[in-house]
C-alpha cells in the first residue's frame, strides 16, 4: 500500500511526540486501542483552566503509519482550540486531510476516540469535588 505524502510527512516527522504530566489537574489523558489490529494510542492535552483552551498536546502511538499520522495531526489540530471545539473534530476530516484509503479509516477513528477520551478524562478532573461526591451518593 502506498501512503499519501501527508501521511509520510507526519510519519517520518511526527509532531508533538511525548507525554505530559498525567497527574496534573490541567492534563487529560486518553488511552485507546484499535480492536481491528491491536494497536494502541495515547493522546494527552493540557488545558488552560481560565480559558478552556488546549495549550499543549502530546501523543505516543504504537501502530501503523496512518495511526501515527492521524494522532500527530490530531495533536496539531486540537492545539489552540477550546475543549468544546476540539470535541467537534471528526475522523472523516482526518481521513480527508491525510487522504487515507478506506482500509485505513479505523486508524483515524482511533485518533478521534483518543481526543474524546483525553477530554473526558480532563473533564472528570474538573468536576468540583462536592459535585462528584453528590454523583456518587446517588
Partner 1 sequence: MSIQTSNSSGTTANGAPFRHLNGDGVRDYFAFFRLPRKLDLDLAQLEREFHQQSRKLHPDLFTQSSAEQQEWSMEQSSRLNDAYRTLRDPIRRTQYLLRLEGLELEEQSETATEQVRASGQAKKQIVPEDLLEEVFELNMQWEELRMNKKTGDSDPALVRELEGQKVSLEQKQEALLEELKSYWVEWDALGDTSPLEARNRVTAKMADLLNRRSYIRNLVRDVNAALEN
Q: Which residues bind ligand FES (CB under 6 A)?
A: 34, 36-37, 39, 63-64, 66-67, 107, 110
In the bound state with partner 1, the residue whose beta carbon lies nearer, of 48 and 62, is: 62
Whether the Cβ atoms of residue 46 and residue 24 lie closer than 8 Å to each other: yes
Minimum distance of ligand FES from residue 75's CB (angstroms) = 16
Residues 27-86 that bind partner 1 (CB under 8 A): 31-38, 40, 42, 60, 62, 64
Closest CA to 119 of 39, 63, 72, 52: 52
Compute the distance between CA of residue 25 and CA of residue 28 in angstroms, rounded to an integer: 8
Compute the distance between CA of residue 34 and CA of residue 16 in angstroms, rounded to an integer: 21
Q: Is 123 helix (H, G, I), strand (E, B) or coil?
A: helix
Q: Rule CB under 8 A: is residue 106 a binding residue for partner 1?
A: yes
Q: Rule CB under 8 A: is residue 101 a binding residue for partner 1?
A: yes
Whether the Cβ atoms of residue 112 and residue 86 lie closer than 8 Å to each other: no
Q: Rule CB under 8 A: is residue 23 a binding residue for partner 1?
A: no
Q: Rule CB under 8 A: is residue 10 a binding residue for partner 1?
A: no
C-alpha grid cell, residue 99 = 487522504
Q: Which residues are catalytic, by number? A: 37, 107
Residues forming the site for partner 1 (CB under 8 A): 31-38, 40, 42, 60, 62, 64, 101-106
Amino acid at each position: 500500500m502506498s501512503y499519501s505524502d501527508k501521511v509520510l510527512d507526519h510519519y517520518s516527522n511526527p509532531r508533538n511526540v511525548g507525554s505530559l504530566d498525567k497527574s496534573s489537574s490541567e492534563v487529560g489523558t486518553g488511552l485507546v486501542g484499535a480492536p481491528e489490529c491491536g494497536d494502541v494510542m495515547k493522546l494527552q492535552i493540557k488545558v488552560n483552566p481560565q480559558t478552556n483552551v488546549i495549550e499543549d498536546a502530546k501523543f505516543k502511538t504504537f501502530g501503523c503509519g496512518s495511526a501515527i499520522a492521524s494522532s500527530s495531526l490530531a495533536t496539531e489540530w486540537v492545539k489552540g482550540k477550546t475543549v468544546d471545539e476540539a470535541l467537534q473534530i471528526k475522523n472523516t476530516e482526518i481521513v480527508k486531510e491525510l487522504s487515507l484509503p478506506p482500509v485505513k479509516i479505523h486508524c483515524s477513528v482511533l485518533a478521534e476516540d483518543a481526543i474524546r477520551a483525553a477530554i473526558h478524562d480532563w473533564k472528570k478532573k474538573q468536576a468540583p469535588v462536592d459535585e462528584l461526591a453528590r454523583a456518587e451518593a446517588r
